Amino acid sequence: MEWLRSALLPPQGSAFAKEIDFVYMAILWLSIVLFLGIVGAECYFAWRYRYVPGRKTPHQTHNTPLEIVWSVLPLLLCVGLFFWGLDGYMKFAVAPGDAMEIQVVGKQWLWQFEYPDGTRSVNELHIPVNKTVHFVMTSEDVLHDFYVPDMRVKRDIIPNRYTEIWFTPTALGEHVSTCAEYCGKGHSDMRAKLFVDTQEEYEKWMATGGTEYQSFTPEAWGKIQWDRKGCATCHSIDGSKSKGPTWKGMFGKPVTVKTSDGKTLTVTVDEAYLRESMLQPAAKIVDGFENIMPTFQGLLRENEIRGLVAYIKSLQ
Ligand code: CUA
């Protein structure tokens, strides 16, 4: 009966889908069989005991065994279905501990996703195939509902509270997620594309950190990084002294530095020096400062480094 399932239900995108569809189809078939049986019996009795002139219809008010059977059997059936559904629900409710965690924020009218490394994306989500993903979700304004039909998951998103869902994607390619709780005039536009990538595609996407950077100039993107990556803690942008050299007016100027092997040099602050100072801060420490900066190797993407350099250049 695969044809009926695929005609009625969206493609199966997660490990949940098979199980949920099986319960769905079992209940559907049970309903079809019971419907035909009940309507068939009604039709038969209506015909069998139809009015025939002169025939005496037997008068019957009770049949205790029959009444017990048609009360107890459906009761057992319903209780059975309840526990079958409960079993699936319990599995669905608790995410495995080793799942990759993604934060979901719903707001009028967009979806924001945040990855374990701080990468953010809007209305676009990439996850690797066959990896269990756990979504921790909240709303910044009103009720929303995160619904991914292909994955057979759906749960309300509530302000000031966290709700969760999880699944293991099995089908590569693009899937749709949408808001399933009426949330205002933009409700029907509140959609996100969910891409299930191969491991290589996923890593490639993560390396650029999504598309957020494309909506900023390099300088503006650099300023965001200055704040987000913690540069602001030690580097001022207004010339004031802090734990590290101020960024104001630094670019293009000569500075005296101490190299990691103890030499004293004069270098010009250019792109190469800035890049080296982010990735190997200890290599050349500006005279008068301590060697306290942690390395940002692996913590900054190319577009973030470019942004920071552009931002420092702009601070003249
Ligand atoms: Cu958000 Cu409907």
For residue 105, the CA-to-ligand 1 centroid distance in Å is 11
Q: Look up tokens 């809007």; give the residue.
A: 122
Question: Which tokens hold the place of 70?
Answer: 């048609």
Residue 139 CA to ligand 1 center (angstroms) comes to 10
Helix/strand/coil (H/E/C) assignment for every residue in 111-152: EEEECCCCCEEECEEEEECCCCEEEEEEECCCCEEEEEHHHC
Q: Is the CB of 304 under 6 A from ligand 1?
A: no
Rounded CA-CA distance 134/104 in Å is 10
User: What are 28's two structure tokens?
Assistant: 């559907």
pLDDT tens for the chain, 316 residues: list them: 788 888 888 889 998 888 889 989 999 999 999 999 999 999 999 998 888 888 887 778 889 999 999 999 999 999 999 999 898 888 888 888 889 999 999 988 889 888 888 777 778 899 999 999 999 999 998 999 999 999 999 999 999 999 999 999 999 999 999 999 999 888 988 888 899 999 998 988 888 777 778 888 999 999 988 887 778 888 999 998 888 999 999 999 999 999 988 889 899 999 999 999 999 999 999 998 988 888 877 678 888 899 999 999 999 8
Query: Cα of 121 to ligand 1 centre, how many Å?
Result: 18
Q: Residue 211: what are its φ and ψ, rounded to 5°?
A: -110, 5
With beta carbons less than 8 A apart as the criterion, state whether 83 and 162 touch. Answer: no
Give the ligand 1 atom nearest the CA of 180.
2
Q: Is 183 close to ligand 1, i.e. is its CB under 6 Å away?
A: yes
Please state, rounded to an integer, the average pLDDT across all residues of the chain.
Answer: 89
Cα 209 to ligand 1 centre (Å): 26
* pLDDT tens digits for range 19-60: 889 989 999 999 999 999 999 999 999 998 888 888 887 778
Alpha carbon distance 1, 228 (integer Å): 53
pLDDT tens digits, 113-157: 888 887 777 788 999 999 999 999 999 989 999 999 999 999 999
Q: Rg of the chain over CA atoms, in angstroms?
A: 32
Token pair of 183 as six digits: 């949330």
Give the three-class secondary structure for 95: coil
Enter the tokens of residue 214.
């494309």
Is 213:232 a contact under the CB 8 Å cutoff? no
Amino acid occupying residue 249: G
Residue 81 belongs to what H/E stretch? helix 64-93
Q: How many CB atoms lie within 10 A of CB 64?
A: 7
- How distant, in Å, are the alpha carbons of 10, 138, 168, 231 from that of 302? 39, 31, 30, 16
Please provide the size of the chain in residues. Answer: 316
106 lines ligand 1 (CB under 6 A): yes
pLDDT for position 312: 94
Residues 23 and 45: their CA atoms lie apart, in Å, by 33
Write down the pTM of the prediction: 0.68
Q: Is 187 in the pocket of ligand 1 (CB under 6 A)?
A: yes
d(CA 82, CA 87): 9
- Ligand 1 centroid, distance to 144 Cα (angstroms): 4
For ligand 1, say whether the CB of 157 is within 6 Å of any of its atoms.
no
The span from the CA of 196 to the CA of 125, in Å, is: 8
197 in contact with ligand 1, CB cutoff 6 A: no
- Taking alpha carbons only, the member of 142, 147, 146 closest to residue 160 is 142
pLDDT for res 107: 86
CB 165 within 8 A of CB 101: no
Q: Is 179 in the pocket of ligand 1 (CB under 6 A)?
A: yes
Question: Which ligand 1 atom is nearest residue 108's CA?
Answer: 1
Q: Which atom of ligand 1 has the smallest separation from the CA of 109? A: 1
For ligand 1, atom 1, name the residue with the nearest CA: 144
Q: Which pLDDT value is given to residue 172?
A: 93
